[in-house]
Amino acid sequence: MLGTTVTRRLLALALLGALVGVPGAALSSTAAVADQVREREYWLEDYRIEEAWGITRGAGVRIAIIDTGIDATHPDLVGAVVGGADFSGLGTADGLTPVGSERRHGTMVASLAAGRGNNGVDGVLGSAPEAELLSLSMSFGGGTIPPDEQVANAVRFAVDNDADIISLSLTRNTRDWPESWDRAFSYAAANDVVVIAAAGNRGSGTVSVGAPATMPGVLTVGGVDQDGQASDTASSQGITIGVMAPSEGLVGATPGGGYVSWSGTSGATPIVAGIVALVRSAYPNMDAANVINRVLLSAERVTETVPDPIYGYGLIDAYEALTADVSYVSANPLGSLDEWVVLHRKQEGNPIVVPLGPQSTATEEEKALPPRIPARDDPQWRLLPYVVTVGFASALSVVILTGAVLVLWRLRKR
């Protein structure tokens, strides 16, 4: 599938950053001519996305882009964005004002997921050019709302506003995540939403995969170069990687109608998000677990080990994801966040002590007193004669019976 080498290689100046730093790529500022942009989208053919469009183009599926916000006025995104919100406190309420120092990032990501192009032959086409987008803007620096809280709130908003897929081209640069994410991402899983996250980029300091790409149930996307080899700079490595997608030589839309060249798993992730949208569009009644399973098992294997710590299940294949014969699964093959929480999170509050037997209600002072002898008129005395009488009668009966047995035994001996 990827044997054809695309000769046009675009310059990447910076890559996916940390959640607490920059969100993604600082890119070449040279704008591309629109028709050249379309020609540079080598992945549409190499990863059989154009072939998959013969079946569906993603209509009826909604992708939430949690990023720096989408410029919905860009010619390639007109009509694609159907709603949104701001979680940074810096943007507009509708989430359509890009925020932060890397304000272009959200628009670039959105274009690779569901760009519609323009004039029929120009501009960026996303993997699912008929899918809908939610623009959920957040800031990776500045403002008073912590980024972790912004992400958790955005995930919940996406679920409550009918997202079928959540795309996260960001990383904390740590394997762990806050407990607020437990609840938010569990809420997404419970509502049948596919969550997709970028593995991160070694070129920006993310040596190994970080959260949310380390979270159980999340479809993690690593990156390959134009020859289908794991990218040395534009992808991190880790055992949680699900599939690989192109992360070098990318092109994307930017606010104000421009285009840039870029690299990183920030771009690989929305390409996969769009392909997942194609699957959800082709199989509208398929649950998230089986959508993920179909994407994984239809990927083109790179090594005999599956999943492989570098390539995961292999290279994403859009057409195979729609047409392959894949068995049904009853649970997400990438694990359960709820089960992880039960095993790894400490219980909140004090432990509940369950008594194993009768417990004394006497105070310490009462325990120190000598045993109480009931008075003559105490009701307890009414029990004592009965106990003594029954005990004495029982003992006398045993003595009489034993004596009778001995007498009979002696008579027989004679």
Name the region of 166 (left: φ>0; alpha: ψ -120 to 50; beta: rest).
beta
Between 34 and 378, name the one with better pLDDT.
34
Domain shared by 304 and 390, yes or no: no
What is the domain range of residue 400?
382-413
Tokens 């991190």 belong to residue: 236
Q: How far is CA 54 from the centre of its chain?
A: 30
Residue 235: pLDDT band with limits 50, 70, 90: low
Selecting among 111, 247, 266, 281, the annotated active-site residue is 266
Of 140, 314, 295, nearest in space to 224 by CA: 314
Boundary-marking domain end, from 294, 314, 344? 344
Boundary-marking domain end, from 344, 373, 390? 344
Q: What is the mean pLDDT of the chain?
A: 81
**15 inside domain:** no
266 part of the active site: yes
* Contact present, 265 and 109 (Cβ < 8 Å): no
- pLDDT value, residue 12: 24
The yes-or-no verdict on residue 183 having pLDDT over 80 is: yes
**332 inside domain:** yes
Residues 8-22 pLDDT 10s:
222 222 224 333 323
Q: What is the SS3 assignment for 62? A: strand
Residues 268-291 pLDDT 10s:
999 999 999 999 999 999 999 999
Tokens 């047995």 belong to residue: 405
- pLDDT value, residue 120: 81
- pLDDT value, residue 68: 97
Residues 338-373 pLDDT 10s:
999 999 886 544 444 333 433 334 444 544 545 444
Domain shared by 277 and 401, yes or no: no
Residues 18-46, mean pLDDT to the nearest whole number: 62
Residues 180-192, mean pLDDT to the nearest whole number: 98
Domain shared by 237 and 386, yes or no: no
Give the CB-side neighbour count of residue 365, counting CA atoms within 13 A: 0
Selecting among 67, 71, 308, 317, the annotated active-site residue is 67
Of 196, 174, 220, 201, nearest in space to 264 by CA: 201
**227 inside domain:** yes
Selecting among 46, 76, 88, 105, the annotated active-site residue is 105
Q: What is the SS3 assignment for 208? A: strand
**357 inside domain:** no
**21 inside domain:** no
- pLDDT value, residue 76: 97
**14 inside domain:** no
Residues 243-267 pLDDT 10s:
999 999 999 999 999 999 999 999 9
Q: What CATH code is carried by the domain that includes residue 245?
A: 3.40.50.200
Boundary-marking domain end, from 292, 321, 344? 344
Of 36, 32, 49, 197, nearest in space to 109 by CA: 197
Domain shared by 139 and 262, yes or no: yes
pTM of this structure: 0.77
The yes-or-no verdict on residue 62 having pLDDT over 70 is: yes
Residue 309: pLDDT band with limits 50, 70, 90: confident
105 part of the active site: yes
Of 154, 286, 166, nearest in space to 219 by CA: 166
- pLDDT value, residue 200: 80
Residues 125-147 pLDDT 10s:
999 999 999 999 999 887 789 99
Count of domains in the chain?
A: 2
- pLDDT value, residue 234: 46
In three-state form (DSSP H/G/I as H, E/B as E, the rest C), the secondary structure along 263-299 is CCHHHHHHHHHHHHHHHHHHCCCCCHHHHHHHHHHCC
- pLDDT value, residue 27: 38
Domain shared by 86 and 232, yes or no: yes
- pLDDT value, residue 205: 52
